[in-house]
Structure 1
Amino acid sequence: MARGKKEIGSKPMYGVKVEKNVYVPARDGVRLAVDIYRPDAPGKFPALLALSPYGKDVQTFDTPPQPFGKSVFEASIEAGNPDFYVPRGYVYVIGDLRGTGYSEGEYEGLFSKKEGEDGADIVEWLARQPWCNGKIGMAGICYFATIQLFVAAEQPPHLKAICPWEIFADDLYNHGLYEGGVLNIFLYGLYTGTYPARCGYAPRNVVSAMMKNTPPKKLERLVEKALSNPDLRQYPYLYHLLKYPEKNPILFDFMLNPYDGPYYRERSVCSRVNKIKVPAYVGGPLFSFFSQPQINIYNTLKVPKKFLLYSNMGTRPWKAQHKEVLRWYDYWLKGIDTGIMDEPPVRYYTAVDNKWSKAKEWPIESTVWTKFYLNSLGSLSPEPDNYNDVPDCFIQQPLYVSEERARVRYLTPPLSEDVQVTGAPRIVFYAAIDADDTNFRIDVRDEPSDDSGILPLSSGWLKASFRALDKSKTTPWEIGHDFTKSVPVEPGEINEYVAQLRPISYTFKAGHRIKLEISSIDIPTDPETYDVMWHVCNSKPTLHKIYRDGKYPSHLLLPVIPEG
């Protein structure tokens, strides 16, 4: 494309023609249902494809965008707005994955190989239609975004670019259902339709991959093992699901696979990123479990790429950032030089300061990793506490005894100047427990000068028995652990634990204090749990001792961005 004066992007100039329940044949003969929104005019246009298991018809539900947590907020309406793109000269196609909505076939567990293959088949079918110019992109966020990556890895010839934002579970184990080896039950609500995705899946023929592919005797043993796990048994609805898996075949499969291995590797798109050959605009919020997958995918891709990180997941139906997506696709699908590829590759938003910044790479090239040591009397300091070897302690009762989350807290003195933290906080700490396992939850918070406190800015989890590091998986942007096997803890033994928290970009203002909390439980009814994707907790009382002295220099490591 010629460089020079930048061209104005596509402007609205067409009406919208809709074709509902068009069936596209997959390579195995299964018919996949799509809705096609296209310009009501002659000619050939590029097409954008959005795929999910949520039901295509709800994606155009006509409600004003709602903030997270409101009464009619619906997290699954994430395909994007056809009424924005079609008038600007794009065909917009929203489809049901096989076995969901109006599509035929069988949905065999989350992210089966068929999902990428089916998407590739639809791409090539679209390219053959008389109203398409043969240039296809993909659209939508969260599940829609991860599917873009699976489809791109299949390398359909007419897929020319993708725009995966809010990537979910590029690594289905650690970035999906077992953060730090600790099971979260996000898929309980997502599939069945409880908060925040009340619609849930649109199941037509959803089956358990484990029930389909595991010999009956082995399956029976796996189910009995899960039923005997006291951590799962303490939740009646998880016990119920293990007994009646048809209610939620997806979460059933996850509960039978508590270790990383072939089940997750086959369904993790991070292992296929090297097959992606088309330009990619990666983006999404520095929020919840989206932030780390986005960073991992962006840094792994070896194609023309861009990176955009904003502060939160925003509103639903998803109608935000459409102008930016349009700039991307105008450039790659229409040949309009919008200037998007002349800009710095990384752009990110910092909360509190409410500012956008540009960078060449992630982690940010100016990052200064800064240690804050855990000290006695609950202080967090640049200097270690060398002389007080008495540990800090907390005892966590199980949920059926108490709904109080025990914890230890450490705070800096009031800051003398603003401190911008951009990246993934890490913690190295030394701990002993009186059991053979526990879960550690780590939170970083901003403690205002009025001591009121707010929700955690960044959180991380680590199951003690998964403390072993895996150097082959460790990168400049993530700490790797070995989740293929567990090593029980010797009660009373002091062990080193290294945990990574979810990435953030946040400015702690002068006069505020940085707060670190270590606990071991998520309580669904506790507003401080913050994240609706809460984690399965330990089922027995456990004493935790946190050591922080000259021999055991426990510390928080923050990615600080110097001023200027």
Structure 2
Amino acid sequence: MTVTAQELSGVPVDHRDGMRILWDVPVTMDDGNVLRADVFLPAADGAYPTLLSYGPYAKGLAFQEGYPSAWETMATQHPDVVEGSTNAYQNWEVVDPEKWTVHGYAIVRVDSRGCGRSPGFVDHFSRRETQDFHDCIEWAAAEPWSDGNVGLSGVSYFGMNQWLVAATQPPHLRAICVWEGASDFYRDASHHGGILSTFWQHWYDKQVKSVQYGLGERGPRHPVTGQLVCGDETLSDEELAANRIDFGAEVRAHPFIDDYHRDRTPDWDRITVPLLTAGNWGGQGLHLRGNVEGFLQAGSEQKWLEMHGLEHWTTYYMDYGREIQLQFFDHVLKGRDNGWAGRPAVQLQVRHLDDTYEERWEEAWPVPATRWTDLHLDLTARSLAAEPAAEPGSLSYDAMSAGVAFRTEPFAEATELTGPVAAELRVSTTAADADLFLTLRAIDPDGNHRSFVGAVDPHIPATQGWLRLSHRELDPERSTPYRPVHSHTAAADVVPGTTYDVQVELWPTSLVLPAGSRLELIVGGRDYADTSLPPITMSNFKNQMTGCGPFLHDDPEDRPESRFGGTVTLHAGAGSACLLRLPVVPRTT
């Protein structure tokens, strides 16, 4: 093929808004299936480092059209997101090409197999999808507009699959930037503490089926090109169903870590490229744990962790996040001596009770100065105290109820909690099994619960954790006193009336409590819900936001009352461990 000024990668060049754009470029996979990609290039001819994303949300669906409530909130509250761009090419959870091509990058968006304009069978995070991603990286590196150096960038799904493909070690992959992307498909995403998350079924219905390849004329049109976003074929509902897995049923069918989950979780030792991983303090349920674990587990010698707040898409587009990414990629893809090499390993936006943040740098995670502090549950006083109760006691609650709460005394001085949180409990149940839902809340000096802007939900607690009693077995090689890791490979016996010692992982948090504040721990048997909130909905989620976002655990098949009902009893005192372990970081200001 002869390449001219009017054609690249086999398609015409469209000159728009200071970019050269290649629409719907064919990318042939090893099995002959042809995926479709859009490529955005700087105005000047040349070979550029490439930032690539691969995912199911349809490259032709405008952010503003597909996710209007999220876009409106972000654009209104953070005007730097929309400044300096026409915003005509904005796409959900991937970079704005107008803000990257000017810095000498080629931007590639690939519709994953079966989604958008790429035909094929939809099977999320599968080996087939990961192989496609691998082949797209190698395809891009060989194109005339690429200098052979490929980096990956994107939020959530576009981050989760980066862990997987990096472990396949594509020869031309040079770096990954995983923004709020889970890394352990079981523990971070599908089963929290062994309890099924119904998020994936609802997400599939709202965000994938709505842009599946084959919707054709029934789907949207590209706002710039007028192309059908979901392919030129219009298939029947039966044909569409035959071209996709039943994702909710697939996840439900694998209640333990098996080959299904292992295929969707990376081999950490094989991730060796430089990486930047960014998590969200308000991301309980999907957008937090995996970024921390990826930073800790990946075999890369060059790796950096950033932790922030706000909605999970917002910081990625703000100048704050974009400039961090640009400095990272300029260093690892262009070899620029821009100060990144001397950057500390961990950048934290430490959260305050009023939902403001202060920046701090650390050399490691958890924070090296952490003082691990145990607060003991007093079951009689329903308090959290520095010393265990002198006398043994017990406290019972309805096994599927909101549960019982325990509060500290007011803190005498400002206290910072930044890091992982854990609980040790002694529990029994009258039923065949029990689900433990732990919620940590902040109470201000006036006695009011203070919520925070979450990754998805606008009102979330300080942190949350979960554990199914039959999943209490620990992975001894990975567990620490402050971060228990459960094996989740088989169910342990639960004998009604028998008392069991369990450790519960609560996801990392960051919180500065002013003097006079308290902490409250809720131990219950269902998802946390802030009953004081008005009805809150978002355009891309089915459920109302009540403090857990869309990450609920309400599947009747997974949690039948016949198995999980009854009464749960907590036991403490006389040498029985019943405590909350907190990461207290000394304040220097």
TM-score past 0.5 threshold: yes
Secondary structure, in 3 states, of the residue corresponding to 1:140? strand
The aligned amino acid for 1:251 is G
- What is aligned with 1:163? 177
Contact kept in structure 1, 2:176 and 2:273, CA below 8 Å:
yes
Secondary structure, in 3 states, of the residue corresponding to 1:161? strand
Closer, same or farther in 2 for the Cα pair 1:345/1:172, shift >3 Å?
same
Q: Are positions 1:557 and 2:581 aligned together?
A: yes
Deviations 1:182-214 (A, max 9, x none): 001111221111xxx5x76622389xxxxxxxx
Cα deviation for residue 530 of structure 1 reads 2.8
- What is aligned with 2:212? 203
The aligned amino acid for 2:181 is I
Equivalent residues in 2 for 1:199-238, closer than 5 Å: 202-204=211-213
Q: 1:432 aligns with which of 428, 434, 437?
A: 428
- What is aligned with 1:297? 294
Cα deviation for residue 318 of structure 1 reads 5.0
CA–CA distance in structure 2, aligned partners of residues 545 and 299 of structure 1: 35
Cα deviation for residue 86 of structure 1 reads 1.1
Q: Are positions 1:463 and 2:468 aligned together?
A: yes
Closer, same or farther in 2 for the Cα pair 1:408/1:504, shift >3 Å?
same
Q: 1:410 aligns with which of 379, 383, 406?
A: 406
Secondary structure, in 3 states, of the residue corresponding to 2:176? coil
CA–CA distance in structure 2, aligned partners of residues 530 and 546 of structure 1: 24
Deviations 1:289-332 (A, max 9, x none): 32211111111123211111112334459513111111111111
The aligned amino acid for 1:558 is L
Equivalent residues in 2 for 1:506-525, closer than 5 Å: 506-522=511-527
- What is aligned with 2:454? none
Q: Are positions 1:35 and 2:38 aligned together?
A: yes
Q: Are positions 1:533 and 2:551 aligned together?
A: yes
Closer, same or farther in 2 for the Cα pair 1:525/1:549, shift >3 Å?
closer
Deviations 1:389-415 (A, max 9, x none): 331121145xxxxxxx43111111111
Q: 1:384 aligns with which of 385, 388, 397?
A: 388
CA–CA distance in structure 1, aligned partners of residues 200 and 462 of structure 2: 23
CA–CA distance in structure 1, aligned partners of residues 394 and 384 of structure 2: 15
The aligned amino acid for 2:275 is A
Cα deviation for residue 347 of structure 1 reads 0.8
CA–CA distance in structure 1, aligned partners of residues 481 and 25 of structure 2: 46
Secondary structure, in 3 states, of the residue corresponding to 1:377? coil
Q: Are positions 1:326 and 2:326 aligned together?
A: yes
CA–CA distance in structure 2, aligned partners of residues 367 and 205 of structure 1: 53
CA–CA distance in structure 1, aligned partners of residues 29 and 22 of structure 2: 19
Deviations 1:276-297 (A, max 9, x none): 2211111121222322111111
Closer, same or farther in 2 for the Cα pair 1:185/1:551, shift >3 Å?
same
Q: 1:103 aligns with which of 118, 132, 140?
A: 118
Contact kept in structure 2, 1:66 and 1:316, CA below 8 Å:
no
CA–CA distance in structure 2, aligned partners of residues 131 and 539 of structure 1: 56
- Shift >6 Å, 4+ stretches: 244-248
Secondary structure, in 3 states, of the residue corresponding to 1:478? coil
Closer, same or farther in 2 for the Cα pair 1:200/1:507, shift >3 Å?
farther
Cα deviation for residue 104 of structure 1 reads 2.4
CA–CA distance in structure 2, aligned partners of residues 315 and 124 of structure 1: 28
Secondary structure, in 3 states, of the residue corresponding to 1:297? helix
CA–CA distance in structure 2, aligned partners of residues 335 and 315 of structure 1: 28
Once the two structures are overlaid, the 10-residue window that deviates more, 59-68 or 155-164, is 59-68
The count of aligned residue pairs is 494
Secondary structure, in 3 states, of the residue corresponding to 1:296? helix
Contact kept in structure 2, 1:86 and 1:92, CA below 8 Å:
yes
Note the residue ranges of structure 1 that are not aligned, 5 or more in a row. 1-13, 207-243, 398-404
The aligned amino acid for 1:89 is G
Closer, same or farther in 2 for the Cα pair 1:246/1:436, shift >3 Å?
farther
- What is aligned with 2:537? none
- What is aligned with 1:278? 273
CA–CA distance in structure 1, aligned partners of residues 334 and 513 of structure 2: 43
Closer, same or farther in 2 for the Cα pair 1:549/1:348, shift >3 Å?
same
Cα deviation for residue 115 of structure 1 reads 2.1
Once the two structures are overlaid, the 10-residue window that deviates more, 515-524 or 432-441, is 515-524
Cα deviation for residue 514 of structure 1 reads 0.9
CA–CA distance in structure 2, aligned partners of residues 542 and 145 of structure 1: 40
Note the residue ranges of structure 2 that are not aligned, 5 or more in a row. 1-16, 77-89, 216-240, 452-460, 534-545
- What is aligned with 2:23? 20
Deviations 1:221-257 (A, max 9, x none): xxxxxxxxxxxxxxxxxxxxxxx99997111101111
Closer, same or farther in 2 for the Cα pair 1:459/1:76, shift >3 Å?
farther
Q: Are positions 1:263 and 2:260 aligned together?
A: yes
Q: Are positions 1:178 and 2:191 aligned together?
A: yes
Deviations 1:329-361 (A, max 9, x none): 111122222211211111111111621111111
The aligned amino acid for 2:180 is E
Percent of aligned positions with the same letter in both sequences? 27
- What is aligned with 1:349? 349
CA–CA distance in structure 1, aligned partners of residues 62 and 340 of structure 2: 28
Contact kept in structure 2, 1:421 and 1:559, CA below 8 Å:
yes
Closer, same or farther in 2 for the Cα pair 1:134/1:115, shift >3 Å?
same
Cα deviation for residue 451 of structure 1 reads 2.1
